[in-house]
Amino acid sequence: MTTQTLGTIQREGERRTVRHVRRYEATPEDVWAALTEPEQVENWLAEMTIEPRAGGRVTFRWQGGQTESGEVRVFDPPRTFEYTWTEGSLSHIRFELTADAAGTVLVLEHSLIVPDSAAGIGAGWHSHLDALDALLGGSHQAPSDWNARYEALLPAYRDAVP
């Protein structure tokens, strides 16, 4: 796993948008499966239940018991997966996948974020996308240092909030 550059945080009126761009040495179909199949999502993000269709429900449960739920807005395999998230207030999460010569480019945009949450969301997605990289590279367990990685990244993301 290589060191990834920080994602960006942009001002969108009173809200913020976190954006990450990653390249994975995997096919769009393999990245799609890692984003949408509960048994894979659990290895890099959280326990997931999903109704895999636009209008379906999606719920995430983390190890500490915290849950987030929302509605699937776009389910277009293997290109676009978008859903709402209810953390604090309603926000949108969108993954776009594009094949390239080296595998797949993933663009993640988490929008409509309240400013106080932007740094934590930026560092959190950065850490989880690192874990996704490990999964796509053949590891079947989330890195045990996820929290340490998050804590190490958090100051840089705090500095990046506009």
- The domain spanning residue 34 has which CATH number? 3.30.530.20
- DSSP secondary-structure letter at 8? E
pLDDT at residue 102 in the model: 86
In a domain, 4, yes or no: no
Encode pLDDT of 84-108 as tens digits. 988 667 999 999 999 999 899 999 9
In a domain, 109, yes or no: yes
Amino acid at 97: L
Encode pLDDT of 119-162 as tens digits. 999 999 999 999 999 889 887 555 567 788 899 999 999 999 99
Average pLDDT, integer, range 62-74:
92
Q: Tokens standing for 131?
A: 């874990």
Element (H, E) at 145: none
Q: Tokens standing for 21?
A: 């761009």
2 pLDDT above the threshold of 60: no
Q: How confident is the model at residue 62 (pLDDT cuts 50, 70, 90)?
A: confident
In a domain, 105, yes or no: yes
Residue scoring higher pLDDT (135 or 27): 27
For all residues of the chain together, what is the average pLDDT? 92
In a domain, 26, yes or no: yes
Other Cβ atoms within 10 Å of 157 Cβ, number = 22
pLDDT at residue 46 in the model: 93
In a domain, 2, yes or no: no
How many domains does the chain contain in total?
Answer: 1
Angle formed at CA 72 by CA 104 and CA 160, multiple of 5 degrees: 60
In a domain, 67, yes or no: yes
- Residue written as tokens 């960006």? 8
Angle formed at CA 156 by CA 153 and CA 157, multiple of 5 degrees: 85
pLDDT at residue 140 in the model: 59
In a domain, 68, yes or no: yes
pLDDT at residue 64 in the model: 82
Q: What is the pTM of this model?
A: 0.92
In a domain, 32, yes or no: yes
Q: Tokens standing for 154?
A: 């958090």
* Bond into 155 cis (ω within 30): no
Distance of CA 118 to the CA centre of its chain: 13
pLDDT at residue 143 in the model: 56
114 phi and psi, to 5 degrees? Answer: -70, 140
- Rounded to the nearest 10 degrees, the angle between the axes of helix 115-136 and helix 146-160 is 140
1 pLDDT above the threshold of 50: no
Could you list the residue range(s) of the whole structural domain that residue 26 is in? 9-160
The percent of residues above 70 in pLDDT, for the chain, comes to 93
